[in-house]
Amino acid sequence: MRDPQDKIVDPEKAYIISEKIRSEGKKIAFTNGCFDILHAGHVKTFLEAKKNADFLFVGINTDQSVRRLKGIRRPIIPLEMRQVVVAACEAVDYVVPFSEDTPYSLISQIQPDVLVKGEDWEESSIVGADIVKKRGGKIIRVKLVQGISTSEIIRKILNVYRE
């Protein structure tokens, strides 16, 4: 098994790796998120993405990016730890942090063949879908695991400590 630390790369290295993968005629899948508290829904997305490609790149929001998107109390888990947890998943080949609010520029660099998000995202609002479709790639919307989300996990934890 690969050391999770070896799977964590910066955007420039991700670009170089993706160029090499494409030159070998292999397919790349991409998904992204905050992955603040990794749960079964995230893992299901990774597995579905990997079924549709040879390599899976996972974009992960930096702490500053998460704060802008989710508020000042997030993330719960710092980037360095979130990266290791995501990278430890067998289906994940590379983890790439990004500091923007969306992974659009990262998707532009990696040029994936498959873009994967949860079904709670309408295809028309999936960031980078235009890039993938333009190259003849596909968008996959993964069925959600009912009753689980990072926000719901946080609510449950807070309720336990309020009792």
Residue 163's pLDDT is 65
Q: What is the average pLDDT across 148-154?
A: 84
Q: Report the C-alpha gap between 65 and 61 in whole angstroms.
A: 6
Q: Is the model's pLDDT at 105 over the cut of 80?
A: yes
Domain boundaries, the chain: 4-162
- pTM given for the model: 0.94
Q: What is the pLDDT of residues 9-63, one digit of tens each?
A: 999 999 999 999 999 999 999 999 999 999 999 999 999 999 999 999 999 999 9
Q: Domain 4-162 in CATH: superfamily?
A: HUPs (3.40.50.620)
Strand partners, 94: 57
